[in-house]
A and B are shown apart, each in its own frame.
Chain A
Amino acid sequence: MIKLTHVSKEYPKRGYALHDVSFHLKKAEFAFLTGHSGSGKSTTMSLIHMADYPTSGEVRVSGFSSARMTGRDLWKVRRRVGMVFQDFRLLPGRSALENVALVLEVTGTPRKAIQPKANRLLDQVGLSGKAGALVEELSGGERQRVAIARALANDPYILLADEPTGNLDDRATRGILDLFWDINATGMAVLMATHDLELIRRYPHARLFELDQGKLVYDSAAADTEAS
């Protein structure tokens, strides 16, 4: 699903944001990516989403390699990877339904099928009654659910979430995490970046990657293997 092989990312002024990171997230796995601010979580997420490319090493996502990716082919990988952000990145002035429908229009879904599918997705994230509400009228938790519904619209193989609960209260956070687990139960791989260790402790069965100063310092799967 997602495979990073000796990935480094160096910025001209900042230096290394990631240094020789390798891991493999398999199908239907749920994993947290944690670390302090500046540890390289967002860089890792953006490399997986191919919003940026590694300075060295290779990122493979659902069969696509960063080494061979061009701007023209970017849409192919984007349709296999759903992405959720801390700041939601929804289109203001449009309803929840329109925000989800946008993805379906973009991917060429027949017009008749767009509204039913968008409604179904909103229903899946628990927003069936809010389809017509403008983004500005929704709470933070509800906005994040719309963003998740949008991320799921392409029926992706992987769901990436970059600090998705960073702007949410505890109750909304739990709701979003439960939703991620439900999504993961359908066979979709989920990788969530968070610095909230308290939150991670609540889900001990999830795989855990920890970054520190751009280096992968902990992988729970590797630790389990070593322990056994």
Chain B
Amino acid sequence: MSAVIAEGTQTVNMLTAIKQALFEEMEREPGMVCIGEDIGILGGAFGVTEGLQDRFGAERVIDAPISEALIVGAAVGMSMRGRPVMAEMQFIDFISCGFDQIVNNAATMHYRTAGKVSLPMVIRGPSGGYGGGGPYHSQQNEAWFAHSPGLRVVCPSTPSDAYGLLKTCLRDNNPCIFYEVKELYRKREIEEQIPGGDYTVPLGKARIAREGSDLTFVTYGNMVYFCLEAAVKLAEEGIEAEIIDLRSLVPLDDEAILNSIKKTNRVIAVNEAPMTCGFAGEILARVNEYAFEYLDAPPARVTRTDTPVPWVKPLELAVLPSVDDIYEAAKRAVNY
């Protein structure tokens, strides 16, 4: 296996980890194809696929026209014949243009054919706010797809997880929506060494990002770091927060959530997406169903306000969750 980008002991950022996983899987699966806007000649808007076309050729790394429905539909056609496909959405916001092909076609194919047709395809793209992207370059729209049975929905927060989960999803046999938080792509502080060997991360297995005994944050993606910051503040006051980084939303690690609540008896669900019908709401609904008797405080959520993401900084920060929002929610739970 070629370690083309990072050598064994080198620490890498999340973007490089994702790139490395793509190169390795393209090498490993001579049939695998990548398709997306500007992924070939340019190497992707963020450079995730830089060098991929030079290495594997234009037939396997397709520069698609600006046609998300075509990109997804063609991925369905290729993968239904057994060919693994990575389809890139230039920004995950643009996935709405391919929505029908995803939720009505790809998501339901295995079901509709009573298990005869499987689709080994991953749709991945950069997501999330805090970068001044405005309404169409800032979304975390994972709830749309978690609500469409038949799709894996994944959102890693560390380079190793991004690497290991992308590999797992590319080797899975189901359509997967893979969220890459673009604010984390090049974040220095989270650079790390990717475990050697053929490292993969299982779907449906959460990671405990911080251990604690007083309350549980259930979150994923960029919010993991917001919760970590809030936890530092809380620890100064002697409050120890546990942080569950879900990593994959579908399938969901209910057991990890339950076990943590049994220990802490308090839970705050945090997502960057809007509140109504967001994934934090789903977590709280489940907590009410299976962990109600362990709770010492009302379960709460911290989310974006139910507004679009505005462009300029004061407006953007006003609607997105902040460390303070999370800290205050935690304090309310602890003081209940």
Q: Do A and B interact?
A: no
| B interface list, Cβ under 8 A from A | none
| A interface list, Cβ under 8 A from B | none
